[in-house]
Amino acid sequence: MLKHRVVVTGMGAVTALGYELDAFWNNLIQGKSGVSLVEAFDVSEYPTRIAASVKDFNPEDYVDRKEARKMDRFVQFAVAAATNALKDSGLQIGEDADPDRVGVMIGSGIGGLGTWEDQHDVLVQKGPKRVSPFFIPMMIANMASGHVSILFGAKGPNSTAVTACATGTHSIGDSYKLIQRGDADVMICGGAEATIRPMGMAGFCSMRAMSTRNDEPEKASRPFDSERDGFVMGEGSGIMILESLEHAQKRGAKIYGEVIGYGLSADAHHMTEPDPNGPERCMKMAIRDAGIDPAEVDYINAHGTSTPVGDRSETIAIKNAFGDHAYKLAVSSTKSMTGHLLGAAGGVEAVICALTLNNGKIPPTINLEHPDPECDLDYVPNVAREADVKVAMSNSFGFGGHNATLILKKFEA
């Protein structure tokens, strides 16, 4: 069967480090942190009072007020990132692309948590007749894909992955496969999340999964550092426009890079605790799918959440997957700056990998001041590094034992 080559032609990211691609990238390379005290609600009684919040975001910059009010915040983020990605790609659906051949796959790990909270308050305080008729269509996780397809007239394959923190990577990987096998010419894909809410914060605090370094927010997310004490929640969206190479070249599109490999696996181990064997199998599957030698991988954007168990587990998995080459790789966790965007993390980090291929710079792992002896790889500590990265890997691992890995390559005609 003919396998179409799949390339990246547009990207958009909405994060605590900015909404515009250039500003976002510059902040990453400068090693800036997007973490600060939570201001959206009272966190005085929470053990964790910090997050990487998206500030000064106005959904009406992307859709009119009436439509924006029908969207949960995670959908608003997805619409904004998709709008920017399509603009970046120069693609006009209906002119440059057959709407029936343009699909959407934007996932969310949790979906409309804010809408759920707000409408539950209405139910308790005012009764069932006052619950909004938009409650269900605002809350369900597939609505990012739904709204984006409606707004832009994309009538091709449309679906939603919900695999916790692996969601964004699964969405891009599954979209890559749809184009590769000829079921679509273009896919708008990635992840979106908006869980910096009272229930979201309370739930993760109860798990003791988040950092409590409230007095130094910008230093709280510190992957692979021996003094790390948990992850920092982020929010936003990361979206890619994928196209078959033939389709992109026919319309003269600029190309950021090529998606060449995708792996997915399960730990089959524990609800929340990672097992290094799962990510190892996932990375090896992506390498096989790409048809490359492990030694060809130059850079890994790690899942690297800043949890004690997770960072050690990923380090072991990388060593097992790459052998001696693990010590020659550059590995960094950009969650040290963006926070952990949960279901949107993989989308944002795939965008970062493509930008790394194009700009010849590897973003750092900031706050790596006291290296964990058990995490002994090259994590590009604190300062960005110039490097000719030809092949980049992005890892995402989620609760339930879900693992996903993407491999991107610098484009060669």
Token duo for residue 90: 């120069």
pLDDT at 378: 98
- Alpha-carbon distances, residue 366 vs 46, 152, 221, 277, 381 (angstroms): 25, 38, 8, 27, 6
Task: Taking residues 82-89, report their average pLDDT.
Answer: 98
Task: Taking residues 166-174, report their average pLDDT.
Answer: 98
Give the tens place of pLDDT for each residue, 266-277: 999 999 888 889
Say how far apart CA 109 and CA 261 lie, in whole Å. 23
pLDDT at 276: 83
Task: Taking residues 285-299, report their average pLDDT.
Answer: 98
Token duo for residue 177: 């496969």
φ/ψ of residue 295, rounded to 5 = -70, -10
Q: How large a percentage of the chain has pLDDT more than 90? A: 98
pLDDT at 409: 98
272, 399 Cβ separation under 8 angstroms? yes
> Is the alpha carbon torsion for 353, 359, 360, 365 positive or negative?
negative
Task: Taking residues 116-138, report their average pLDDT.
Answer: 97
pLDDT at 174: 98
Q: Are strands 102-107 and 158-159 parallel, antiparallel or unpaired?
A: parallel
Task: Taking residues 261-284, report their average pLDDT.
Answer: 94
User: Amino acid identity of 162?
Assistant: V
Q: Could you tell me the pTM of the whole model?
A: 0.97
Task: Taking residues 249-253, report their average pLDDT.
Answer: 97
Residue 1 reports pLDDT greater than 80: no
> Is the alpha carbon torsion for 206, 379, 273, 293 positive or negative?
positive
**Short-list 26, 85, 398, CA closest to 239:** 85
Say how far apart CA 117 and CA 101 lie, in whole Å. 37
Q: How large a percentage of the chain has pLDDT more than 70? A: 100
- Confidence grade of residue 347 (pLDDT, cut at 50, 70, 90): very high
Residue 2 reports pLDDT greater than 90: no
Q: Picking from 263-277, 285-299, 346-360, which range would have the lowest pLDDT averaged per residue?
A: 263-277
What is residue 233's DSSP assignment?
B
pLDDT at 226: 98
User: Cα angle at 310 between 308 and 314, to 5 degrees?
Assistant: 125
Show the 3-state SS of 158-227: EECCCCHHHHHHHHHHHHHHHHHCCCCCEEEEEEEECCCCHHHHHHHHHCCCECCCCCCHHHCCCCCECC
- For the chain, the average pLDDT equals 97
Task: Taking residues 104-112, report their average pLDDT.
Answer: 98
Say how far apart CA 32 and CA 47 lie, in whole Å. 24
pLDDT at 274: 87
The catalytic site residues sit at 165, 303, 340
Which contiguous run of DSSP H or E holds residue 331? strand 330-332
Give the tens place of pLDDT for each residue, 9-31: 999 999 999 999 999 999 999 99
pLDDT at 413: 82
What is residue 284's DSSP assignment?
H
Task: Taking residues 328-335, report their average pLDDT.
Answer: 98
